[in-house]
Amino acid sequence: MTNNVAALKNVTNYYGDLKIHTADGNILTITTIRDISSSLTNAYVSPNITSNLLLVCHLVDISCKVEFSNFGCFVQDQHTGKMITKGPKV
């Protein structure tokens, strides 16, 4: 989930009923669904979300290797070792 649409591909407007429920009780609407890469698809975009969120269990389910270090997080294709995406430690 993200509010940043700049780096995403394959934009599809979202007309479904799913909402993002936050820990403070807010309910955020999903405006579009986009792809981060060919391996990471269907990222929900909500203009009001304040942090990017990623489900590690989803990445593992789609055969990704997730590695955390003091620099941040790295996601690789488990079979080829190709880097899919990375994020800084915040």
How does pLDDT run across 23-33, given as a tens digit for each residue?
A: 899 999 999 89
* Domain match, 44 and 2 both: yes
pLDDT at residue 37 is higher than 80: no
* Domain match, 20 and 42 both: yes
Last residue of a domain, one of 35, 50, 65: 50
Mean pLDDT across 5-13: 79
**Three-state secondary-structure class, residue 60:** helix
Residue 85's domain spans which residues? Answer: 54-90
Looking at the 3D structure of the chain, how many domains does it have?
Answer: 2
| Torsion angle in degrees (nearest 10) through CA of 88, 86, 9, 43 | -80
Distance CA 75, CA 64 (A): 6
* Domain match, 58 and 30 both: no
More confident residue, 78 or 38: 78
Number of residues written out for the chain: 90
* Domain match, 18 and 45 both: yes
**pLDDT tens for each residue of 56-79:** 888 888 888 999 999 999 999 888
* Domain match, 58 and 46 both: no
